[in-house]
Amino acid sequence: MEKPFRRRDLLGIRNISASEIIGILDTAENFREVNTREIKKVPALRGKTVINLFFENSTRTRTSFEIAAKRLSADAVNISVSSSSVAKGETLVDTALNLDAMDPDCIVVRHGSAGVPHQLANVSRAAIINAGDGANEHPTQALLDAMTIREHKGSIEGLEVAIVGDILHSRVARSNIHLLTKLGAKVRVAGPGTLVPGGFSHFVEKGMTVVPHIEDAIRGADVVMILRIQRERQDSAYFPTLREYSIHYGLTNERLELAKTDAIVLHPGPMNRGIEIASEVADSSRSLILDQVKYGVAVRMAVLYLATGGSASH
């Protein structure tokens, strides 16, 4: 569908270029200052309507988008699945058409199935922002991770990044692998064989390697990214017990010793303490988990601003 002038979707990292990624990150850097003011509000999106359409539970991401929209003076409306008419039998496209009839400028969507944001983008005149679709992508998470890395390491190019855990179910991993390889990082992925998809060969060409053990991924890394064990998605047995997972793939201080001495630790949250990450690591100064949450607001402000008409910093 033809979008009104200057309206743009953010469906994933896969379909945007390295320079577009850098443009979003530079814009987000400039939005950070707004969040440090006493009056944390600017009139840039006054009169615009942002709908947060969440078919899956989320506290952090939905709140982050809502705060971002409100700090830009947009009107934010939250719709969650439990209160929506999907429960009454409405199809996704009908829901989208009904929302579209109310003339929102932007719809932020999260859904358990991959491709839903793309489907909405085809039927809606609003800018569509993907806030997580199935195991496909979660672009704003990858952008805020990149912002956190840039803040501490200066640039992403040439960094060695370990991504550890449940790759199979992780949209965070996919968006991050796209982003990091596009910006020239070397990515090493490790996880139980059952949780690392076989069809990742297209990533391998771009600089990603799959290694069997967490130690192989972490050794010499600048950044260690730990993924959450998604217990709610594991309908069959991918590993024997959580305890066994933690013994083989949990990030402990001893394992972190293998990384560079100034290595940083990221986790997209919510954390399972004592399973994929030991509390001593999560609470250490190398863990930047709360920085990620902080930068998330600035990234989403930048994305909302750019999706509804602004152009990127350079």
Residue numbers of the site for another protein (CB under 8 A)?
Answer: 5-6, 27, 29-31, 33-34, 37-39, 41-45, 47-48, 72, 302, 305, 309-314
> Could you tell me the smallest distance in angstroms from the CB atom of residue 300 to another protein?
14
Shortest Cβ distance from residue 7 to another protein (Å)? Answer: 11
Best CA proximity match to 298, nearest among 155, 141, 144:
144
- Closer residue to another protein (CB): 32 or 233: 32
Q: Which is nearer to another protein, 242 or 312 (CB)?
A: 312
CB of 28 to another protein, least distance (A): 9
Closest distance to another protein from the beta carbon of 140 (Å) = 17
CB nearer another protein, residue 110 or residue 300: 300
Q: What is the DSSP letter of 5?
A: T
DSSP assignment of 198-236, as one string? S--HHHHHTTEEEESSHHHHHTT-SEEEEPP--GGG--S
DSSP, residue by residue, 167-200? -TT-HHHHHHHHHHHHTT-EEEEE--GGGS-S--
Which helix H or strand E contains 123, and what residues bound it?
helix 116-123
State the nearest-atom distance from the C-beta of 238 to another protein, in Å. Answer: 44
30, 100 Cβ separation under 8 angstroms = no
> What residues form DSSP beta bridges with 278?
none
* Nearer residue to another protein within complex by CB, 245 or 305: 305
Closer residue to another protein in complex, CB, 44/162: 44
- Report the residue number, 123 or 312, with the smaller CB distance to another protein: 312
Smallest distance, another protein to C-beta of residue 43, A: 6
Determine the angle formed by the axes of helices 139-153 and 18-32, rounding to 10 degrees: 70
Q: Distance between CA atoms of 252 and 298, rounded to whole angstroms?
A: 30
CB nearer to another protein: give 46 or 273. Answer: 46
> How would DSSP label each residue in 238-300?
SSS-HHHHHHHH-B-HHHHTTS-TT-EEE--S---BTTTB-HHHHTSTTB-HHHHHHHHHHHH
CB of 105 to another protein, least distance (A): 10
